[in-house]
Amino acid sequence: MIPTTATISSSISSSTIQIYFPNDLIKPIIRNNKKANGWYLLGFKRGESIFVVVQIVEDVQKFTTEKPQEVLKDLQLLGVINKESSNEEKIPTAGLELTLTKSFPYPKIKRINNKEYTFILFHPPNYKNLEYLSFNPIYLQSTEMEQAKAGNSEIVQKYNQLDGSQFHSKKEPFDNEILDKINQCSQIRIVYKRWYLTGNQDSSIWSVSKIPRSMLFKPLAIIIAIIQTLTIWIIWILNFEFGKKKFKLTNISAVMRQLDLRLKQINYFPIQFLCYYDRSILYNEFEREDTINEISSALNLPIFNSNLNINNSNYINFHNSLWLIINDVLLGISVHKLINSHYEIIATFVNETLIRKLLFDDLFGLISWVSYRHPAGFKLNTELGSFVGDLFLWALQFWRLLLVDVLTICPESKQSSISFKVIIPMVINTFHTVFPVAEYVSTSIFKYYLTILCYMGFSFLVSFMIDYMQIISFHIYCFYFTSAKIYHRQVQILKSLFQLFCGKKYNILRNRIDNLDNYSDSGVSFEVDQLLLGILIFVILVALLPTIFAFYLMFFLTRILCLCLIYVGENVLVVINFFPLFVMLLKLKNSNRLQGGLSFNVLDVLQEKTVTTYLQLKNKSLTYSEIFKNFGKLFRNSRAFTLSLIPNFINGEPISLEQKHELKFSYLMLPRNYDQTIFVWTHFTKRKDV
């Protein structure tokens, strides 16, 4: 029976010696116990009470006579395990003596004394698979809502609750220094084996990899630099502010926003490559214009992981983006083949059902129903309804005659895509006489444009559909905006006139409601003729309000329907561009690479004259909720839109779908200073050690 935490806390004193022992050494020791005459323990010692076992060896003559330097200089001879006293050589150790037998699955202290022991067993992380132990969870995405938790006080507090010790020293019992030694366990074994066999230490083993040195790398680096320069220029054009109102292409087109996002990803890929193959780059500095700038501050990344998390997060983000882009392109090619095989059906549906029927014929009938036929039994003002309805119907007919043929997709059988025969028949007839292939060329241009978008990725096709939806429904937006302005103005006038009955008026200068006594020495609020005129205008506006509200409600609902379709398209783009696909596969394959913190489990407590506690140190993987936490926030961009829907509807304020494009860049942890990536790349590819 394993005692509880309370039992452990009450039985262990403050003089606890901590021994960190690798799990993978237990089975070899038990299996070869009879064949070998014990082993020596190599590792690290901190103070008088903390031991970190790294490796077991049978012969330490070379280690004691030829002390290794540099990488292995801190490695010490901690003690022995399963070694008989009679056979022990006079070799100085740190005094740690352990035994391990089949009767008990964990190491024991050979010589019992008054001190108490805590064994922390751990699995050595495989650095080649980017496995390591970390206090802080890895941050794969960022929405700038939360910052990484600094420090390890929470883990240390849990550890103290498990072993019951009251550490009175300034240093914490389990900190980054010990954790680094545990993470270096696999590397130290390889370096020690190489030193023992050849006598050489290769410090390059500490890096995951080095940037390859070859004749092909320099031309490749130049090509990448050229691509980065082109992407920087195109991104600058997409985000250039035109005119006095400073509108940008990314603000008016979903295709441009998607292109901006994709170019920034491609522009940052080389830096992610460098950071993955040599994580020290992020801590180094580069020189530009006689100034020394740190890479992190120069690129202005949204949020930074610390320590080993940087390398792993760059690896995961880099490969996740690559996977999503490849899947996006493959899906776009598949959809393009589907469109080509059903082009006639799709063109007919868009032209006849979507544009002609829904956006024009049905809308024409809906406006006529509200204008002349007393909708839902409500008897509206006939004269005002007819007048306002005629204005909207005339605008709808004008829009149809002017642009309906431009917005329709031309089927291949008709070979026609643009026709202004109603507006300018002479120009079009002359044009078609001189250039009989003009209609065929316009159709081919559209098909080539559609092909380019599909081969760039399915996300670009969805973006084009969003832009196309906004264009073909532009007349609905105009109708809604006009009716909302009329309704809003009428409501504001009614609110102002309502103050008439309360003896108040709105102060424009101070933006408040004042009593009329403040403006009159006699204390009289209104003259009789003023009061009667105000009441007359108020009654007229109240009588006309239902008619105006009927038109406003109709266009409000149609506008909401269009925005919902656009919102669905935006959510599809979020799934295509940001779904953590590689993270999900990594969790299924090797969850230890998704560091979510540390956990301690009580294995056993052995009481033989003294108390020995056995704990299991494990890497806690990110949960699914933590993986999708920031991903779910991307779908909540329209929360302000949904929460303000009812207030805006009542007040007659125009509604719109707000685009938080910067949040997507932050989620992918892309640099804000995208133009600095070219200097980072050229600097580190020209270093002598590359």
Kindly give the residue spans of alpha helices, DSSP state H, lying in 100-173. Answer: 153-163
Comparing CA positions, the residue from 448, 460, 453, 452 lying closest to residue 255 is 460
What was the pLDDT predicted at 228? 92
Joined together, the tokens standing for residue 94 give 């740190």
Task: Compute the 3-state secondary structure of the chain and give helix, strand, coil in percent, each to the nearest 5.
Answer: 60, 15, 30
Identity at 520, one-letter amino acid code: S
| 241 confidence band (pLDDT: 50, 70, 90) | confident
What was the pLDDT predicted at 521? 52
What was the pLDDT predicted at 419? 33
**The 116-122 sheet, strands edge to edge:** 104-109, 96-101, 76-81, 39-46, 50-57, 16-22, 116-122, 610-621, 595-608
Give residue-wise pLDDT tens across range 200-238.
Answer: 665 555 544 445 555 667 788 888 899 999 999 999 999
CB 374 within 8 A of CB 381: no
Highest mean pLDDT, choosing among 31-35, 477-481, 524-528: 477-481
What was the pLDDT predicted at 321? 93
Radius of gyration over alpha carbons of the chain, in Å?
A: 37
CB 81 within 8 A of CB 39: yes
CA distance 583 to 589: 10
Residue 357 DSSP one-character state: I
B/e letters for 546-572, b = 16+ CB within 10 Å, e = fewer, are: ebbbbbbebbbebbeebbeebbebbeb
Comparing CA positions, the residue from 219, 227, 322 lying closest to residue 685 is 219
How far does Cα 641 stand from its chain's mean position? 21
Highest mean pLDDT, choosing among 73-82, 146-155, 388-397: 388-397
What was the pLDDT predicted at 3? 40
Specify the pTM. 0.81
CA distance 480 to 343: 33
CA distance 150 to 427: 71
Residue 355 DSSP one-character state: I
Residue 393 has pLDDT above 90, yes or no: yes
CA distance 374 to 312: 66
Identity at 507, one-letter amino acid code: N
Give residue-wise pLDDT tens across range 99-150.
Answer: 888 888 889 888 767 778 889 999 998 877 888 888 888 888 876 645 444 4
Residue 260: φ, ψ to 5°: -60, -45
CA distance 421 to 405: 10
Give the residue-averaged pLDDT of 492-496.
Answer: 85
What was the pLDDT predicted at 280? 59
Q: Which of 188-192, 332-336, 514-518 has the lowest mean pLDDT?
A: 514-518
Identity at 477, one-letter amino acid code: Y
Average pLDDT, the chain: 78
What was the pLDDT predicted at 85? 59
Comparing CA positions, the residue from 238, 323, 278, 234 lying closest to residue 681 is 278
| 289 confidence band (pLDDT: 50, 70, 90) | very low
Comparing CA positions, the residue from 120, 189, 194, 131 lying closest to residue 158 is 120
Cα dihedral sign for 433, 437, 441, 442? positive
Counting residues of the chain whose pLDDT is more than 70, the rounded percentage is 75
Residue 160 has pLDDT above 70, yes or no: no
CB 679 within 8 A of CB 286: yes
What was the pLDDT predicted at 62? 79
Q: Which of 169-178, 241-250, 336-345 has the lowest mean pLDDT?
A: 169-178
Joined together, the tokens standing for residue 644 give 């303000």
Between these two residues, 266 and 115, which has the higher pLDDT value?
266
Joined together, the tokens standing for residue 107 give 């190491």
Residue with token string 């005692």: 3
CA distance 507 to 489: 17
Helix axes 528-578, 474-498, angle to 10 degrees: 140
Domain extent listing, the chain: 5-206+596-614, 207-301+672-690
What was the pLDDT predicted at 9? 36
What was the pLDDT predicted at 417? 36
Joined together, the tokens standing for residue 489 give 């103005």
Beta-carbon-side half-sphere exposure of residue 165 (alpha carbons within 13 Å): 23
| 434 confidence band (pLDDT: 50, 70, 90) | very low
Residue 335 has pLDDT above 70, yes or no: yes
Give residue-wise pLDDT tens across range 534-544.
Answer: 888 888 989 99
Joined together, the tokens standing for residue 449 give 């444009």
| 637 confidence band (pLDDT: 50, 70, 90) | low
Residue 292 has pLDDT above 50, yes or no: no
What was the pLDDT predicted at 555? 95
CB 315 within 8 A of CB 130: yes
Helix (H, G, I), strand (E, B) or coil at 96: strand
Residue 86 has pLDDT above 90, yes or no: no
Give the residue-averaged pLDDT of 369-381.
Answer: 83
Residue 242 DSSP one-character state: B
Q: Which of 44-53, 262-271, 437-446, 668-677 has the lowest mean pLDDT?
A: 437-446
Strand duo 96-101 + 76-81: pairing: parallel
